[in-house]
Amino acid sequence: MAKFLITIVGPTAIGKTALSIALANQFKCDIISCDSRQFYKEMTIGTAVPSIEELNSAKHHFIQNKSIFDNYTVGDFEKEAIAKLDELFLTNDFVILVGGSGLYVDAILKGFDAFPEIDVKVRLAIQADYEKLGIDYLQNQLRDLDASYFEKLTVENPQTLQNPQRMMRFVEVCMGSGRPYSSFINQKKKERNFTPILIGIEAERSIIYNRINHRVDVMLNEGLLAEAKDLFLYKELNALQTVGYKELFSFFDNEFAIEFAIEEIKKNTRKFSKRQLTWFKKNERTKWFDYLTDRNKIIDYITGIIHNS
């Protein structure tokens, strides 16, 4: 029988975790998480890791399995997740894939572009220059080393030019390989031994935003401030360059008042949810459902695809 990867995507706080557990119980299978923030065991509250009860309701993989001190890339995740899928498909025809990290979802569904191994000394040198010279340094380097890709980002994805982690990676590949970053993109994608069934969960923007605001309040009540305080010493690590922690680090640095930091978390999470939807909506194979849709309708849709395959 064919193997099916039932993939659940959508913006943050929309209810993907609850749906994934319901589907895992329906199809008696495991869940693979591709939320890039939930990999790290030191980050729990601010990444909305599923509760103990939720984790016990279905077998999960790739949740809090790494440390913030690990250098873990999307390429590493692709290799590990595909190996896990191969293992799970030996005994089951179904696996659930769930998460809001579009790049990581695509890495599983389509394969990730293959990049060369880069000497760690190159990475450290670029990071040191960035810390001294700022984001302008990275932008200028990319413009010089890969002008076509810089122009593409300027037109299609300008916010990436302000993302130091992504920009350091682009420059690192250019410098370490001696080739433009863009020369490694859109190579022949890998064949997959499963059929993806893509389910998108959405709601009106005002509803998404209200759910995000509520989730942030819940995180704060559960101890997000203390969790961020414990991680403050390591604020420069890549894993911690994320919404919910960065803003609180600015509070600890006396750059923000706590009230402003909280509002920034909510605002930046809302912006993130908008980018998530933009990314996922590009895939025309995704079937979108309102977040209040009866789960039996979603199950019927999935079952129909399976029976017709």
* Binding site, annotated residues for substrate: 12-17
Residue 201 and residue 19 in contact, taking contact as beta carbons nearer than 8 Å? yes
- Look at the block and give the residue holding tokens 């640095």: 253
Structure-block tokens of residue 190: 């890998």
Distance CA 54, CA 67 (A): 22
Residue 34 and residue 98 in contact, taking contact as beta carbons nearer than 8 Å? yes
> How far, in whole angstroms, is CA 268 from its chain's centroid?
15
Reduced to 3 states (helix: H, G, I; strand: E, B; else coil), residue 181 is helix
CA separation, residue 6 to residues 24, 64, 99, 279 (Å)? 9, 22, 12, 18
Nearest to 138 by CA among 148, 127, 147: 127
Q: Per-residue b/e over 17-28, b at no fewer than 16 CB within 10 Å?
A: bebbbbbbebbe
Reduced to 3 states (helix: H, G, I; strand: E, B; else coil), residue 247 is helix
User: Which residue ranges are tagged as binding site?
Assistant: 10-17
Cβ-Cβ contacts under 8 Å for 104 (sequence gap 6 or more): 34, 35, 36, 74, 77
User: Which residue ranges are tagged as binding site for ATP?
Assistant: 10-17
Distance CA 24, CA 219 (A): 26
Q: How many other C-beta atoms lie within 10 A of the C-beta of residue 217?
A: 13
Return the beta strands (E) in 100-186 as ranges.
Answer: none
Distance CA 298, CA 221 (A): 33
Distance CA 103, CA 39 (A): 15
